[in-house]
Structures are given as structure tokens and as C-alpha cells.
């Protein structure tokens, strides 16, 4: 086997597999006679460890390996299982998604969850979008708005992560989510008093949160970093979406996609709303948006800490402080 890994510092969050482990996984998935021609670790993503696998016939496949259970935060626990549970609901965008070819959550081979998926056509959007003239980016964001709308139109049975645990009300799902992020931050040695205060505000303002009565699918992490573009197309054309492991049921306005679409008004991103539909501008929606924004910042703080980004962690406190000023008012 030709094996190419990525050199990482000792103790890095993403842990590689050995060539022998990759061969064992492929034999488990495709049969004892399976031969791996090459395995190349991909640098995409910051959570799972991912390999492009050539089996010597047909298209290469993608192996994704979750972190060991003991390295997962409680607010990010078993994300791969969550994605697996989401696939049957996401039929409206199925042609854009990789197909699951095999999955193993038994930990019998490597002590970690793993999944093998088909390889999507195209080029990662962060590598190609900048090569198009900026006016053409509007078409990209119109496509993204259409995809987000199709996801958000999917109705679910309860609030919370798709794989569970579920909650009867949206307010309960939000309060629990904020509490888990805060506990993870404290477990990592970081101050989470600001997130605890946001959770207390959410608890007091349950009535506003519970105006959301119908659980809808939230993609969780759908933005340019998780989108593929058709290679060589005259204008940016979305050919695939990936890494839908943070899906949950709730208010579409709480999705990361909506946060990013709102982040730079007056730019090409405004075209997102042409296909998605206008955001809710009511006072209660504004209150909810501040709570959702704070939750996103808390999750980002946790990720920045994992990546050793001390400046980013520090900046997150200023951002939540500004949100709390509005929430207190």
C-alpha cells in the first residue's frame, strides 16, 4: 500500500490510523480479499480523520474516522452516528451528498467509529470560489440558499440532535445545548460564566423560544467549507455537500448557515435570501437570534481551544459580552 499521512504535533486532536488499520477497515467493509492500493490522508476538516482510499478498481472512496470517545466533548459526542441517522431524512439533497458505503460503530477493529463514503466530484469551494469574479459569487450564494431551504423544509419528530437525545420543546433543547457547551468549556479549564448567563436568559425567556413549535432539520455546519464546486464550470456551481454530522431538529434560524448568511450584509451573501426567503424580523426572532449567536460563539470557542488558537478564544469573550448586553436589555 502507498500510504501518505499528515505530520501533526504530538498530542494533536486528529489521530492518524496506521496502514495496517486502514487495510483491516477496508477488508471489514468490502471483504477479506480487498487490497488497498493507496491511502492518502486529506487535510479537510478539523474533527474527523479522513483518507482517500484507492482500491484499485472503480472510483476511490473516502474513509472518515471519528475521534476516540474519550477525546470527544459532550456537546460533540458521536457526531458520526448523528450524521448516519440523518441520511434517511436528507433525500431532498441526496444527489449532492456522498453515499454511505459502510459504517462500523462496534469499535472492534480500531476503537473508534468509522464510515466509508463515495467520493464526491468537484473541488472544495474554498480552493476554487476565489478564482471566479466576485459578481459571480452571487450565483453561488443563491444555490446555497436553495439547498438550505430544502434542508430546513424537512420536518422532524422532536427537538435536539437527530440521533438524540430528543426534547419536547425548543427551549429545553437550547438550554441543554448551552449547558453542555459551558460544561465542556469548564472541563477544558476555560471560563464559561458568560455562556451560563446566556443559558439563564434562555431559561427565563422560554416563552419566546417556544414560539418555535415545529422541529425542522438544521444542517449544523453547511457553508462554503463543506461545499464542492464543479471543476471547470464557467460559473461557481455547487456539485456536492459533505460533513453533515452536526444536524439537529429545531428552529432554522438557529442554523450555522443562517448565522453566516447574516454575517456580512451588503455583500454577495445577500443573494442567499433570494432563494431562501427573507429572515424573520420580529422582536422575538431578534431575541432568539442573540441566544443562537451566543451558542455558536461558545461552540467556536471550544473549537478554537482545541486548535490552540488562544487569540480566537480571547476574542470570543468580547463577542458574547456584547450579545449579553443586548439580552439583558
Helix (H, G, I), strand (E, B), or coil: what is residue 39? Answer: strand
Condensed to tens digits (0 to 9), the pLDDT of residues 67-99 reads: 999 999 999 999 999 999 999 999 999 999 999
State in Å, rounded, how far the first CA of the chain is from the last one: 62
137's CB contacts (< 8 A; 6+ apart) are 129, 236, 268, 271
131 SS3 class: helix
Boundary (domain end) residue, out of 71, 93, 118: 118
Are residues 205 and 87 located together in one domain of the fold? Answer: no
Distance CA 236, CA 128 (A): 8
- pLDDT of the chain along its 329 residues, tens only? 999 999 888 788 899 999 999 999 999 999 999 999 999 999 877 899 999 999 998 899 999 999 999 999 999 999 999 999 999 999 999 999 999 999 999 999 999 999 999 999 999 999 999 999 999 999 999 999 999 999 999 999 999 999 999 999 999 999 999 999 999 999 999 999 999 999 999 999 999 999 999 999 999 999 999 999 999 999 999 999 999 999 999 999 999 999 999 999 999 999 999 999 999 999 999 999 999 999 999 999 999 999 899 999 999 999 999 999 999 86
Whether residues 249 and 102 share a domain: the answer is no
Phi, psi of 120 (to 5 degrees): -75, 145
* Cell representation of residue 108: 472492534
Contact 252, 152 (CB under 8 A): yes
Final residue of a domain: which of 118, 136, 164?
A: 118
Looking at the structure, tell me whether residues 137 and 270 fall in a common domain: yes
**DSSP tag of 10:** T
Tell me, yes or no, whether 114 and 129 share the same domain: no
Q: Residue by residue, what is the 3-state secondary structure of 240-263?
A: EECCCCCCEEECHHHCHHHHHHHC
pLDDT computed for residue 57 by the predictor: 86
Residue 11, pLDDT score: 80
The answer on 186 and 105 residing in a single domain is: no
Cβ 291 vs Cβ 200: under 8 Å = no
Q: Kindly report the pTM of this predicted structure.
A: 0.94
User: Does one domain contain both 71 and 128?
Assistant: no
Domain count, the chain: 2
CB atoms within 10 A of CB 71: 13
CA distances from residue 170 to 132, 176, 281, 288, 308 in whole angstroms, order as listed:
40, 10, 19, 11, 33
Q: For residue 76, give its domain range.
A: 2-118
Tell me which of 118, 148, 174 is where a domain ends.
118
Q: Where are the beta strands (DSSP E) in 19-111?
A: 38-42, 49-54, 61-65, 100-104
According to DSSP, residue 111 is labeled S
The whole-number pLDDT of residue 44 equals 73
Q: Are residues 13 and 147 in the same domain?
A: no
Do 150 and 296 belong to one domain? yes
Q: What CATH number did the domain enclosing 191 receive?
A: 3.90.1200.10
Whether residues 74 and 205 share a domain: the answer is no
- Angstrom distances, CA of residue 287 to CA of 209, 307, 324: 9, 31, 11
Instruction: For 120-164, write each residue's pLDDT tens digit.
Output: 999 999 999 999 999 999 999 999 999 999 999 999 999 999 999
- CATH number, domain at 75? 3.30.200.20
In this structure, are 46 and 153 located in the same domain?
A: no
290 plus 155 within the same structural domain: yes
Classify strands 248-250 and 61-65 as parallel, antiparallel or unpaired: unpaired
Q: Is residue 114 within 8 Å of residue 63, measured between CB atoms?
A: yes
| Pair (147, 114) in one structural domain | no
pLDDT for the residue numbered 278:
95
| pLDDT (0 to 100) of residue 10 | 79
Amino acid at each position: 500500500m502507498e500510504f501518505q499521512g499528515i505530520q501533526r504535533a504530538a498530542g494533536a486532536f486528529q489521530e492518524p490510523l496506521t496502514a495496517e488499520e486502514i487495510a483491516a477497515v477496508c477488508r471489514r467493509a468490502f471483504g477479506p480479499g480487498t487490497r488497498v492500493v493507496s491511502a492518502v490522508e486529506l487535510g479537510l476538516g478539523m474533527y474527523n480523520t479522513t483518507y482517500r482510499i484507492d482500491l484499485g478498481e472503480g472510483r476511490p472512496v473516502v474513509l472518515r474516522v471519528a475521534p476516540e470517545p474519550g477525546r470527544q466533548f459532550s456537546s460533540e459526542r458521536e457526531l458520526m452516528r448523528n450524521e448516519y441517522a440523518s441520511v434517511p431524512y436528507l433525500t431532498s439533497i441526496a444527489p449532492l451528498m456522498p453515499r454511505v458505503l459502510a459504517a462500523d460503530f462496534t469499535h472492534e477493529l480500531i476503537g473508534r467509529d468509522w464510515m466509508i463514503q463515495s467520493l464526491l466530484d468537484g473541488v472544495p469551494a474554498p480552493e476554487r470560489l476565489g478564482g471566479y469574479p466576485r459578481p459571480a459569487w452571487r450565483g453561488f450564494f443563491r444555490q446555497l440558499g436553495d439547498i438550505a431551504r430544502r434542508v430546513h423544509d424537512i420536518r422532524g419528530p422532536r427537538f435536539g440532535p437527530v440521533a438524540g437525545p430528543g426534547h419536547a420543546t425548543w427551549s429545553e433543547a437550547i438550554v441543554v445545548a448551552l449547558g453542555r457547551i459551558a460544561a465542556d468549556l469548564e472541563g477544558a479549564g476555560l471560563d464559561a460564566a458568560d455562556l451560563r448567563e446566556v443559558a439563564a436568559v434562555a431559561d427565563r425567556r422560554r416563552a419566546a423560544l417556544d414560539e418555535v413549535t415545529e422541529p425542522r432539520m438544521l444542517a449544523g455546519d453547511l457553508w462554503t467549507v463543506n461545499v464542492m464546486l464543479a471543476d471547470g464550470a464557467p460559473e461557481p456551481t455547487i456539485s456536492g455537500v459533505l460533513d453533515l454530522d452536526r444536524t439537529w431538529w429545531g428552529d432554522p434560524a438557529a442554523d450555522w448557515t443562517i448565522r453566516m448568511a447574516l454575517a456580512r450584509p451588503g455583500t454577495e451573501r445577500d443573494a442567499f435570501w433570494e432563494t431562501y426567503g427573507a429572515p424573520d424580523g420580529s422582536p422575538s426572532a431578534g431575541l432568539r437570534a442573540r441566544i443562537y449567536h451566543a451558542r455558536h460563539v461558545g461552540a467556536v470557542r471550544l473549537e478554537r481551544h482545541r486548535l490552540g488558537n488562544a487569540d480566537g478564544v480571547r476574542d470570543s469573550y468580547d463577542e458574547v459580552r456584547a450579545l449579553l448586553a443586548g439580552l439583558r436589555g
